[in-house]
């Protein structure tokens, strides 16, 4: 356990009478208890060493152990620490079960819609229509643009992406990709014809 709730008011009420060294020993014992997630060793000399105090503070550690901990066959236990650890372990278990459910759900295959079930959305721009592929929208010139540029030269499509320009030309009845809409085959060859 890397974190535990420390209630300053509860601690201050119960420890106000301690000397600074007793307070230090108690805080380090609580940290050790939560970090290892089990009771402190039954040997006070070992507790002194584990909380990094010099051996001459053995009497201080023993007095704190007697006041705030209960000696059990497993070692020195503290009821508040045990309650916090039980709450923490229940929370971890709850999170583990939730993660298992989530992972089990993620492993189940999901059905994807068939192409004939896909429909363009109703909020589609009025100047767009489907070009035969379900995932691509191609801009279509408005009626005004259509009338103005039906027979215009390649300048009409300059700056447009080639794929979109070609689709628009086909829609407007134009020729090949290099032709402007309405350009006759004779004009392409340079042998007369209309060159809009």
CA distances from 151 to 82, 136, 187 (A): 86, 26, 12
Q: Is the pLDDT of residue 49 over 70?
A: yes
What is the model's pLDDT at position 158?
A: 67
pLDDT at 173: 66
CA distance 167 to 183: 16
Rounded Cα–Cα distance for residues 145 and 168 (Å): 11
pLDDT at 100: 82
Distance CA 123, CA 2 (A): 52
Counting other chains too, the contacts that 89-96 makes at CB distance below 8 Å and 24 or more residues apart are none
Asked if residue 135 has pLDDT above 90, the reply is no
- What H or E segment, with its residue span, contains residue 137? strand 137-139
CA distances (Å), 20 to each of 15, 24, 32, 64, in order?
A: 10, 6, 18, 12
Tell me if 115 sits within 8 A of 134, measured CB to CB: yes
How much of the chain, in percent, has pLDDT values that exceed 70? Answer: 60
> For residue range 145-161, what is the model confidence (pLDDT) as tens digits?
555 444 445 666 666 77
* Average pLDDT value over all residues in the chain: 75
Q: Which two tokens stand for residue 22?
A: 């007793």
Residues of the chain with CATH 1.10.10: 8-104
Instruction: Indicate the pairing of strand 128-130 with strand 75-77.
Output: unpaired
Res 28: pLDDT: 96
Percent residues over pLDDT 90 in the chain? 38
* Local confidence band at 187 (pLDDT 50, 70, 90 cut-offs): very low
Average pLDDT for 21-42:
95
Query: Which is higher by pLDDT, 102 or 165?
Result: 102
Q: For domain 8-104, which architecture applies?
A: Orthogonal Bundle (1.10)
Confidence of residue 137 (pLDDT cuts 50, 70, 90): low
């Amino acid at each position: 356990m890397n974190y535990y709730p420390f209630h300053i008011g509860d601690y201050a009420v119960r420890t106000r009478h301690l000397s600074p060294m007793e307070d230090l020993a108690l805080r380090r014992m609580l940290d050790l208890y939560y970090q290892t997630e089990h009771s402190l060793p039954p040997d006070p000399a070992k507790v002194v060493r584990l909380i990094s105090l010099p051996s001459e503070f053995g009497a201080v550690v023993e007095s704190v152990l007697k006041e705030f901990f209960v000696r059990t066959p497993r070692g020195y236990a503290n009821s508040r620490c045990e309650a916090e650890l039980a709450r923490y372990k229940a929370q971890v278990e709850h999170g583990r079960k939730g993660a298992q459910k989530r992972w089990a759900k993620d492993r189940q295959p999901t059905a994807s819609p068939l192409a004939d079930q896909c429909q363009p959305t109703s909020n589609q721009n009025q100047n767009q229509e489907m070009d035969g592929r379900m995932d691509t929208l191609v801009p279509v010139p408005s009626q005004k643009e259509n009338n103005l540029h039906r027979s215009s030269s390649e300048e009409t499509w300059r700056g447009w992406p080639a794929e979109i320009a070609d689709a628009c030309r086909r829609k407007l009845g134009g020729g090949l990709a290099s032709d402007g809409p309405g350009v006759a085959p004779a004009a392409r060859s340079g042998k007369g014809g209309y060159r809009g």
